Structures are given as structure tokens and as C-alpha cells.
Structure 1
Amino acid sequence: MSTSNHFHQEDHELRTTHYQPYQHLGRTQDQNAFGDDSDSEDNSHQHAVPDHNDPPEFDVYKDFNNSGVRYTTLLQGKTAEQKQDRDELQDHILLDSEKSRQHRPDDDDSLTHSPTSPSSSSPRPGLQTMQPGSPTRQKGTLSAMKNGGKSRWRIGSIIAFLVIACLGIVIFFLMPRQPFISLEIPPRLVKKDDNNLIFSASNPTNFSFDAQLDLFLDARPSYLPTLIRDFKVDISDLGATSSTVQVGKSLRSKSFTASNRNLTPLSLDVHFQYSAKLPSDTIWQAWRQACGNIAASTVNGTITRPSLQLVVLIQFNVIGMLGSKYDSTQLNNVGCPAELPPGAPSF
């Protein structure tokens, strides 16, 4: 009996491996691929009524759903209970996959993470993900910020250099230069008709008179005309003593403009004045003889009265320049810009 059952099982397993077309149990007549009305070479042949003890026939629909008895028995060797457990496990996995898909972030995470599969939860090989706070991204951000800072620093440096260069050029052309006394036409002292001349040997010993100083100011080094104010002139005696002694001065408080193309002529009123204790003072004696009467000092057509050695010092302020500016020149062998009347006593 056991041997018969053994052969019956082997025969059952062998029969399950052969393909048999599906036949509906309620129909006893063959149905070909072209339908009931199609032509057939053998319309009279009929299959026998299937036995209920025979194994179930092949079902293509169940085979596609992986639920056919023959399919699962042949390939997996599963029983009905194992098949039910496997189906429940697949349903559970599909449910978990659906939930994880619903909770998945938007497009950013879908681009940076590999899709979840039931068989594996690890990322797809070869796909590198970069988290927002990863060291690689932080390093790239810091490098980009550093390069951007360097570029901005270079651009700022170039702009600052250009601005400074332009400013320097503008200052070079606009900044005035200091004018000076022109030596092309040396200064000279001119006698005035109404000069209020006084020479006195009494106590105090003194002299005073008015004269005119003509000089030319050179402001051509400037690219623009130079505005000058508080123009002062000091005239000192240089030859009577070993030191210079001031004997005349002038002041022009009104501002004026010195041309940057031509020499600027100036005519200044100078007041000469000096005081001493005795008529024997060296400076007073030198000026008394230099300012004597020309007719009385002429011998054989030659004027014999002595000349003077003077120093002219100018002081002024230039608009656009800091501090006071100075210039000076020496006048040698200058005739006295005053003349005593005839018969004036000589002391």
C-alpha cells in the first residue's frame, strides 16, 4: 500500500510539470483558439469528464497573479498556509512602502536620496548624497565666500586706486603755486611829489617820507590764477650797519588775483621812517646824505650823493595754501626816493 502511494505521488508530481490547456469544467466540448464556430478537422472528438481526484489544471490568470497552485507548487513548493503567510507579508511591505512614500519630502529629497525598495533600504550604489550641513558643503560654501570676498576686495582696491589717482591729478592742476618776485623786471623805488619829507636832527633824531615801490609778481607756475590777500612789504637797510634794520613798510589788505599767464605788476605805497638818539647815528647820516639835494650834490655833471643797499621782503597769503608765504630780493645801488630842498643843512 505504501509502495502504491509512493508511485501515485511521483505520478502526480510528474503530471504537474506538463502543460495542459485550461478547460472549463462546465463544458465537455473542445473549444479551439478561433472560437466555437471556427472550422476544426475533428469536431466529433470530446474529452472525458475530469476526475475530481486529478490535480488542478493550469490557470493563466492565477499564474500572472502568482497564485496558481501549479505555479507555486512547482517553483516554490509552498503549501496553502505558507502562501497565505507570504501574501500577508507582501501586503505588509507594500503598506509600509506606501506610508514612507507619503511622508517623503519634496523634490529636494527625492533628488538627493535613492528610492526605497522592499528588498533593500540602502542607497543606490554610485549615488552620493550631500546633506545641507555636511562638511563638504560647508567647505564649498566657505571657499565660495572667501573667493567672493577676494574678488570684492580686488574690485574695491582698483576703484579706490582710480579715485585716488583722479583726485591727485585734479589737485595737481587745481592747487595754486606760490608766486615770487620777478627778477626779469627788478623792483624799483619811485619818488612821489607829495611825500611829506622830514629830516630832523633835533631830539628825537629821525626821518620820514612816502615813496612808491613798483614790482612784478610772477604766478605763472600755477595752472590757474592765484588769489592773494594780506600783501605786506618790509624794506630794510643793508649797507649802513652789519645787520639789517627796517626803514620802510607797506600793506595792501585788499585781495587781488595774480595772473598765471603774464607777470602781475604791483604799485605799492611805502612809508619810510627811522628814529635815533643822536644825529651821529650811522643809519640817519647815511640816509641824510643819500637823500640830499641833487643840484647841490652834482659836481661837473656827476651826481655825487651816495646810493643805498636795501632788502625787499614780501609776505602774503595764497587762497588754497596753508600758512603765510615769503619772498625777498636785494636792491643794490638804489638812489634815495626823496630829495631835500636846496640849502638844507648837512649835519
Structure 2
Amino acid sequence: MESSARRPRTVDTRSAVDSFYAPTRTQSVYEPVYAEDDPFSPPVPGHKNTLSNAQRGSSTFPRDQNGAPSHEDAYADEKREPVKGDEEAWDVYADFNNSGPRYSGAVNLATDPTVTGPGTRDGYRALITSDESKSGVGDSSEPVELVTVPAFGPEWTKGELRAMTKKGRAEEKALHRDAKWKEWKNDNRGLFGKKWLTRKAIVWTLFVLIILMAVGLAICLPRVPSFAFNPTAPISTPTNTSNPVVTRGPTANFTFDAVLDLEMSTGGNIIPLHMNNIHANVFIVDTNKLVAQGNTGSFNRKGGTTRRLDIPVLVNYVAPNDTDTTWNLLYSACKSSTTSSRPGLNILIVLDMSIRGLIGTAHTSTSISNLPCPITLPSSSV
């Protein structure tokens, strides 16, 4: 039967050619492709049957040796396709490697890339190069160099490359610091990440701390005490003392014990005052010579009080001979009063005070004129 005389399909109007991605389904020997080939289908008007009426009749239908109708003889001329195995899996890469329905050479397209003509589609034929064998392309034994080309330009911008340098990181940190400083100045950010440590809160906190420190210093800071001498007897002799030593000759000596009688006032102190030591120096004003020294040692005094303070001193002056001016002044003031009148001494007392809580040493001094000598030498003395 020629293709021009073929009648339209009436039994199955679906395409006999499946999708490219699914293989053609297998036709059964009991399922004719065309209706005119089916002996059991009703005749179609206007078309010529391939089988005669005698062949369609059940009485003349071929039978086997047992007398049963033989269907295999009726379909002896039917084309049979080989039985296929499992259907192939769907190739997801078909449209990307020129193997899909759009690019494949289907039905009337030539598979040979060298063939051209009306039945070919040159736009979709495979391309080959004549130098493929020479260049070594496709030879698995040769090493292949792979080159990665960025698809969308350079991976890093100029600014990003600069930000990765040491200078760029330093600039970024500086920008962060400036931003935080501006936020803190505008009271939008707290100090050290604390929201309540704004500029206003810090100012008030510092103000309160300064006031508390001032009050604390006013209460706890020690003040230098004031001193006053006993007007009647600023210098006296202790009760238990040795006899004075007075010598003449090439080495003149004048030695005796004495006590400075003072009044100490701590009225400027609120808390008790701790004195580490008070060192006393006694000078003769006329010659500016040091003649006596003494120390009190450590002691405490209540704040806001005035009490007596005795500073023991040792008068000890050594001269090269008895014609020394300072030695003669001391001897004249302390000699026996039965023989002649005794002149007074002009002295300068300097006190060096070491007070706990104060840095350095505090100093105070006073001078006394016409001070009588606290001792009297015996008439038998030199």
C-alpha cells in the first residue's frame, strides 16, 4: 500500500513516534498500527480493504490442526518489532551537548556532517576540525591544561582589594572610631558599650565624684599643727639628768641636757593627727651656730586640741679653744651667778615635722631673745 492511498487513522489518533526522551513503545502483534490491517475492525467507507470478504468470514478463517482459528496466520504479513529491554533514562544534559531534539539529526536529517543538501540542516550539524589529530585534542594520554576564566569580570573590586591591605584595615578602624566618637558626642552611644554611660551621665558622675573627693580630703587630710612656747620657761632641764660638762684648753667643750617646753595645737584637724617625728634644732642667733638637737619620736594627738609638748634636746658644742665666741656666750650665760651677772641667750628654734598623710617634711621656727640659761655652773667650775 502506497503512502498516497493510506487512509487516516480511526482507531488510534495518537502519534506512533514517542518523545525524543522516551523510546518508541513496543507494538504488540495483537495491536495493528492501521485500522485497515485489523480483520476485526468494521469497514471504513471509501477505503479498500486489504483482506477479502472470504478472509473476514469466520467460516473461512484459517484454523489450526485442532480446528481452532489461527490468529498467527492472519497476521503473518504484519511487521513485528524486536522486543526491547528497559527504557533508557531521561538525559538531562541532552539540550546542552547537542544531543537533544532541537539539535539531533532526526528522521530526514543527515547524520554525516560532511553531507549537505535539502534534507540536511547545516546550522545544527556537528563541527569537526581537520587539525584535531595534530593538536592532540581528544587524546586522553596528553595532559590537558584547564584555565578558569571569570564569567562576570574580576572577582574583587579596587576598593575591596585596598580594604584587605594593612593600610586599608587601619583606615577602616579609624572610621569606626570616628563614628563611635560622633555618636557618643551626640548622646547616641554609651561609653564602653554601656547605653547609660552617655556624655551627660559621665559629666554628672564626675561632678559628684569631685565633690565627694573634696569632702573626703577636707575631713581626712592632715594639717600642720601650730606651736607656742612657755613664756616663763621655754627651756628647762629634765629631772633625771647628769651634770653638765664644761672644759677649757685646746679643745673647749660645753655639754648638758635640756627640754623645750612647747604647746601644740591641732585645731585644724578633724581626725586624729599622727606625727612620725619632730626634729628640733637650736641655733645661737649671734653666731648662727648649731648648739643643740633633739627628737620626739612617733606619737598621736587628737584633732582640735591644744596640749603641752616636751622635746628633749642635747646641748653640745665643741670649739677649737676657749676663745671661741659661741663657747664664751654659752659659758657667760650659764656661769655661777654669785660672782657676776649672767647675760641672756638669743636662740632660734627650728622644728622639722614628719606627718603621716603629708608628702615631704613640714617646717616651723621661732626665735627667743634674752633667754636665761636653764643651768647654773658651780662656782668651782672652770
* TM-score, structure 2 as length reference: 0.47
**8 Å CA contact 1:233, 1:313 repeated in 2:** yes
Taking the aligned partners of 1:144 and 1:248, their CA distance within structure 2 comes to: 66
Which position in structure 2 is the counterpart of 1:246? 290
**8 Å CA contact 2:229, 2:262 repeated in 1:** no
Taking the aligned partners of 2:320 and 2:367, their CA distance within structure 1 comes to: 28
Per-residue CA deviation, residues 76-127 of structure 1 (Å, 9 max, x unaligned), is xxxxxxxxxxxxxxxxxxxxxxxxxxxxxxxxxxxxxxxxxxxxxxxxxxxx
Q: Indicate the structure with greater helix content.
A: 1
Which position in structure 1 is the counterpart of 2:258? 211
Report the residue type matching 1:296 in the other structure: T
Which position in structure 2 is the counterpart of 1:181? 227
Displacement after TM superposition at 1:257 (Å): 1.5
Taking the aligned partners of 1:145 and 1:281, their CA distance within structure 2 comes to: 77
Taking the aligned partners of 2:203 and 2:230, their CA distance within structure 1 comes to: 48
**8 Å CA contact 1:187, 1:216 repeated in 2:** no
Taking the aligned partners of 1:212 and 1:144, their CA distance within structure 2 comes to: 66
**8 Å CA contact 2:230, 2:262 repeated in 1:** no
1:64-143 equivalence runs, <5 A: none
1:187-198 equivalence runs, <5 A: 188-192=234-238, 194-198=241-245
Three-state SS of the structure 2 residue aligned to 1:160 is: helix
Asked if 1:233 is matched to 2:273, the reply is: no
Taking the aligned partners of 1:219 and 1:322, their CA distance within structure 2 comes to: 18
**8 Å CA contact 2:187, 2:199 repeated in 1:** no
Report the residue type matching 1:248 in the other structure: A
148-157 or 204-213: bigger deviation: 148-157
Report the residue type matching 1:159 in the other structure: T
Displacement after TM superposition at 1:294 (Å): 2.4
Distance 1:165-1:279 versus aligned 2 partners, 3 A rule: same
Taking the aligned partners of 1:208 and 1:306, their CA distance within structure 2 comes to: 19
The alignment covers a number of residue pairs equal to: 194
Displacement after TM superposition at 1:146 (Å): 4.2
Three-state SS of the structure 2 residue aligned to 1:157 is: helix
Report the residue type matching 2:251 in the other structure: P
1:1-347 equivalence runs, <5 A: 146-149=186-189, 152-182=198-228, 188-192=234-238, 194-239=241-286, 241=287, 244-253=288-297, 255-297=298-340, 304-345=341-382
Displacement after TM superposition at 1:213 (Å): 1.4
Report the residue type matching 1:245 in the other structure: K
Taking the aligned partners of 1:187 and 1:320, their CA distance within structure 2 comes to: 33
Displacement after TM superposition at 1:264 (Å): 2.6
Asked which structure has the greater RCO (Cα within 8 Å, sep 6+), the reply is 1
Taking the aligned partners of 1:145 and 1:197, their CA distance within structure 2 comes to: 78
Distance 1:148-1:191 versus aligned 2 partners, 3 A rule: same
Displacement after TM superposition at 1:196 (Å): 2.8
Displacement after TM superposition at 1:182 (Å): 2.5
Report the residue type matching 1:284 in the other structure: W
* TM-score, structure 1 as length reference: 0.52
Moved over 3 A (4+): 142-147, 183-187
Per-residue CA deviation, residues 311-332 of structure 1 (Å, 9 max, x unaligned), is 1111121111101111111011
**8 Å CA contact 1:190, 1:213 repeated in 2:** yes
Distance 1:232-1:187 versus aligned 2 partners, 3 A rule: farther
Per-residue CA deviation, residues 153-184 of structure 1 (Å, 9 max, x unaligned), is 10121112111211111111211111122268
Distance 1:195-1:167 versus aligned 2 partners, 3 A rule: same
Taking the aligned partners of 1:259 and 1:200, their CA distance within structure 2 comes to: 45
Taking the aligned partners of 1:340 and 1:143, their CA distance within structure 2 comes to: 86
**8 Å CA contact 1:185, 1:215 repeated in 2:** no
Taking the aligned partners of 1:145 and 1:257, their CA distance within structure 2 comes to: 51
**8 Å CA contact 1:224, 1:260 repeated in 2:** yes
Per-residue CA deviation, residues 181-237 of structure 1 (Å, 9 max, x unaligned), is 226868711134534301111231111011121111122112222110121111111
Distance 1:226-1:187 versus aligned 2 partners, 3 A rule: farther
Taking the aligned partners of 1:197 and 1:162, their CA distance within structure 2 comes to: 63
Three-state SS of the structure 1 residue aligned to 2:188 is: helix
Q: Runs of 5+ in structure 1 lacking a partner?
A: 1-141, 298-303
